[in-house]
Amino acid sequence: MKRRDLIKGIGGGLAVAGLSACSGADPSGAAKKSAEAETHKWTMVTTWPKNFPGVGIGAERIARLITQNSGGRITVQVYAAGELVPAMEVMTAVSEGSAQLGHGASYYWKGKAPAAQFFAAVPFGMNAQEMNAWLYYGGGIELWREVYAPFGVLPHPGGNTGTQMGGWFNKEINSLEDLKGLKMRIPGLGGEILKRAGGIPVLLPGGEIFTALQTGTIDATEWIGPYNDLAFGLHQAAKFYYYPGWHEPGTVLECMVNKAAFEALPADLQGIVDSVISQVNSEMLAEYTARNAEALATLETEHGIVPRAFPNEVLKRLKELSVGVIADTIAADPLSAKVYESFSAFQKHVAAYHDVSERAFYKTRDL
């Protein structure tokens, strides 16, 4: 553009502004109406199979409520794992902006950011109630956003499964020897602990678990709990069902938002996105609590599954190994060290209260 044309354009803009001021027009009001009329078409990619109960339906609920509560000013199209991108490429898609939303679990991205896995589940760590407390009121979300800042992604707690089951095995686990050479689908820090116990951790997306277990590609799998395990038919592929989920005591799911797309929204739409994700985070835990109880009863009464407790010897050794895995993880990554310092301090703090509240009540209830 030539300099005189630029000056002419600026002068024209000033003239329009002056006329607007003289005529009593309200430019800010017009801008507000324009923003309200603007629509946004968003894409959500997930790590979950299509229409999968709990985690998958939770992601779809987020999309539906954002569309509904915004009056259609944001419309969200959901794609299950593999429909648009592979399950393990969800974070990449959101980071690059080919999708504005993603739903999954942060331990899937430990290769990109080792500290990410602390926001999903820490073996022998905090349960769902404690994780939500740390994230919302203990500085956890702020740290999570610091970890994801280089990727241009805003993470949110997008659901919680509660304490998971220990998993399905094709043989009994009676001692530590039974873990040696065991090929098990298990992600995150739990997978590293199994490896140190002599097992072979395998990372698979949910949609591949049943076939891998049935064909013997893996010997065992953790997934989530009775609700999802029954939906996958895992009881048809392995008969030994163990508890507790030492590796995932309160698994946080995440809803990721592309930062640039979020910041392009007007303030009211930003508020809708934030509030919807927070609402579904709470609802999902309630759903899992109810549905897991129903599904466990079905597995026991209709399919003859009798859950088994891991031997104390096995759990004690896994806990000992977890200390070493966490120590090595935080020693290798300063950001992981910063996150775990906050996590660990909050766990000690909240455990002291739960000793005289939740834990004390459970003991009283069983008298």
Domains of the chain: 37-160+251-289 (3.40.190.170), 167-249+306-360 (3.40.190.10)
Residue 241 DSSP SS3: strand
Tell whether the model's pLDDT for residue 15 goes beyond 50. Answer: no
Residue 12 has pLDDT above 50, yes or no: no
Instruction: Compute the mean pLDDT over every residue in the chain, rounded to the nearest whole number.
Output: 92
Q: What is the mean pLDDT of residues 188-214?
A: 97
Q: Rounded mean pLDDT of 337-365?
A: 97
Q: H or E segment at 256?
A: strand 252-258
Whole-prediction pTM: 0.88
- Is residue 11 over pLDDT 50? no
Residue range 349-367: mean pLDDT, rounded? 96
Q: How confident is the model at residue 21 (pLDDT cuts 50, 70, 90)?
A: very low
Residue 52: band (very low, low, confident or very high) from pLDDT cuts 50, 70, 90: very high
Whether the predicted pLDDT of 250 surpasses 70: yes
CA atoms within 13 A on the CB side of 182: 27
Res. 343 pLDDT band, cuts 50 70 90: very high
Q: Is the pLDDT of residue 20 over 90?
A: no
Tell me phi and psi for residue 236, to 5 degrees.
-85, -10
Rounded CA gap, 241 and 280, in Å?
29
The pLDDT value recorded for residue 3 is 35
Phi, psi of 136 (to 5 degrees): -85, -35
